[in-house]
Amino acid sequence: MDPLVAKLNCFAPLSAEERTLLASAYERTIAGAAGSDIVTEGERPQHIHVLLEGWAYRYKMLPDGGRQIMAYLMPGDLCDVHIFILKAMDHSIGLLCDARIGLLTEQAMLDLLDNPRIGRALYLSTLVDDATSREWLANSLRRDPFERVAHLFCELWVRMNAIGLVEADSFDLPLTQAELGDTIGLNPVSVNRVLQRLRAEQMITLGRKRLTLLDPKRLIAISGFDPNYLHLDKSISTHR
Amino acid sequence: MDPLVAKLNCFAPLSAEERTLLASAYERTIAGAAGSDIVTEGERPQHIHVLLEGWAYRYKMLPDGGRQIMAYLMPGDLCDVHIFILKAMDHSIGLLCDARIGLLTEQAMLDLLDNPRIGRALYLSTLVDDATSREWLANSLRRDPFERVAHLFCELWVRMNAIGLVEADSFDLPLTQAELGDTIGLNPVSVNRVLQRLRAEQMITLGRKRLTLLDPKRLIAISGFDPNYLHLDKSISTHR
DNA sequence: CGTTGGTTTGATTAATGTCAACGCACGTGG
DNA sequence: CCACGTGCGTTGACATTAATCAAACCAACG
């Protein structure tokens, strides 16, 4: 099933007709290479990009060369609905691995928004993105490095699970330790030390870009993770 | 003019009819006292709250007693559109000073969303909230304490200016130093020291809950502030 | 087999948090 | 109208954490 359909269906059950409308809305689909940017800060994209396969990430470069990663995007996620208000993107979006992307024209997006149920689901998905940013704020500013990493892993696990990409508490995590650090406000060395501790305490294995949660319960407990803010109730219950 | 009308009009010019529709959408308005909560984490509000006068703030309490402030709300801002997806709020909203609040029933909100132009403006205002959260992430994790405070002040200044509440680069800032710290991830002592440095370097005055930017240019320069993410172009150009 | 990007390790430095006390200003009640 | 109490702001000494620096190691890939 089209990942966008699957995702929106979680928020507002869609009719067969609406599903078809969504799945056939792409002007075309394209392939993107790991490491390349889908959209660059300062430009105004001509299409809305929907991630169909692979991971992407929102980020912002700072004057001093620092990078802040502000979101991870998984299959079904919209990259740049921002197109509607922006003269120029206020951040960039890059690919963490080879990916497939669906392109929506601005008009196609407007048409989708005109459909009450789809429009509402799109609105809700934006609210979830918003709630996620807020949770990241609390996570990065109020928890110590150990808890921070654990919390991020819990979130990614739940989100990957919701789209059916988790097997036996194990999933692909196409991130370097430096990228993890740029996400939660740690330097790569600190990230490394946290990971080792997580391994030593038998909570995870991580290697070859694959993460396994050996003890989800304990990870949830130590990080104070509450999936509440992801509002994925339905999809979670479907898959677990 | 109704602050919500003023705000949405910035995103998508509204007809006289649409303005009336908006301004008369409130079921009623209520007063709220400084220090009280409008909405509490875990509950599901019966109405959507629109801030008409005063400041509010989104926050989350953590198990260890810490508090993270995730947004400041000013006149015209919607507090809890989240009502649509939430079984329960994932954060609380409190008042920083005595305030006036407009109440929208869920149905009234749905009716507003059905109006294409208003619905779109509401959607866009959500996107701006989202962009603001992301900017806070970058600000709090990638800048040093001095730059962080300066950046926050620049944002509040621009937003207050956009709704006409700035006079001679001076505006009401109903925050304690502890609250500032809970916003940008600093302890109150560090906030205090940053403020003193900002004063010593002739960039601000702050007292009696009123902030004056003595040297906006320099504040912008040192913090790397770029109002881009607020997408307020029209309203700014109107007032400056 | 060499190169490259990523990970791991230890030593050191610098920044921020913590603790504790004091002071100031405002509002309250005697 | 004055005295007291409380909340917030300010200050200094100190502890702790995480950043930085530098080097070695490892695994994948050409």
Rounded Cα gap, residues A59 and A69, in angstroms: 4
Global pTM value: 0.93
* Residues of A in Cβ contact (< 8 Å) with B128: 85
Contact flag B84-A124 (C-beta cutoff 8 Å): yes
Cβ atoms of B171 and B165 closer than 8 Å: yes
Rounded Cα gap, residues B91 and A229, in angstroms: 9
Query: What is the block-wise mean pLDDT of chain B (240 residues), using blocks of 10 residues?
Result: 88 90 95 95 94 97 93 97 83 96 95 88 88 97 98 97 94 98 98 98 96 98 95 52
CA of B75 to C1' of D14 (A): 44
The pLDDT, as a whole number, for residue A29 is 96
Higher pLDDT, B228 or A233: B228
Could you tell me which residues come within 8 angstroms of residue B125 by beta carbon, excluding any fewer than 6 positions away? B7, B8, B11, B78
Strand C at less than 7 A from CB of A34:
no
* Residues of A in Cβ contact (< 8 Å) with B224: 62-63
Task: Tell me, yes or no, if B119 comes closer than 8 A to chain A by beta carbon.
Answer: yes
Query: Which of B54, B4, B49, B48 lies closest to B24 in space, CA to CA?
Result: B4
Contact flag B70-A113 (C-beta cutoff 8 Å): no
The pLDDT, as a whole number, for residue A17 is 95
Helix axes B216-223, B145-162, angle to 10 degrees: 130
The pLDDT, as a whole number, for residue A234 is 55
Secondary structure letter of residue A82 according to DSSP: G
Both tokens of B167, joined, read 């006079």
The pLDDT, as a whole number, for residue B88 is 85
The pLDDT, as a whole number, for residue A114 is 85
Secondary structure letter of residue B82 according to DSSP: G
The pLDDT, as a whole number, for residue B236 is 37
Q: What is the pLDDT of residues B112-138, one digit of tens each?
A: 988 888 988 888 898 899 999 999 999
CA of A76 to C1' of D23 (A): 43
pLDDT band at A12 (very low <50, low <70, confident <90, very high): confident
Widest CA span of chain A, in angstroms?
52
The pLDDT, as a whole number, for residue B11 is 77
The pLDDT, as a whole number, for residue B234 is 54
Rounded Cα gap, residues A238 and A233, in angstroms: 9
Nearest protein residue, CA measured to C1' of C10: A189
Beta-bridge partners for B138? none
Backbone angles phi, psi at B71, to 5 degrees: -170, 150
> What three-state secondary structure class fits A62?
coil
Helix axes A3-11, A116-142, angle to 10 degrees: 90
CA of A214 to C1' of C7 (A): 21
Task: Tell me, yes or no, if B225 comes closer than 8 A to chain A by beta carbon.
Answer: no
pLDDT band at A47 (very low <50, low <70, confident <90, very high): very high
3-state helix, strand, coil in chain B (%, to 5): 50, 20, 30
Output the CA torsion sign for A165, A169, A172, A174: positive
Task: For residue A70, give the chain B residue with the closest CA.
Answer: B134
- The letter for the amino acid at A71 is A
Output the CA torsion sign for A163, A169, A171, A176: positive
Both tokens of B16, joined, read 């006289």
pLDDT band at A183 (very low <50, low <70, confident <90, very high): very high
The pLDDT, as a whole number, for residue A233 is 67
Rounded Cα gap, residues B228 and B223, in angstroms: 14
* Count of residues in chain B: 240
The pLDDT, as a whole number, for residue B239 is 39
The pLDDT, as a whole number, for residue B103 is 97
Rounded Cα gap, residues A108 and A102, in angstroms: 12
Contact flag B228-A81 (C-beta cutoff 8 Å): no
Q: Where are the alpha helices (DSSP H) in chain B?
A: 3-11, 16-23, 106-114, 116-142, 145-162, 177-184, 188-200, 216-223, 233-239
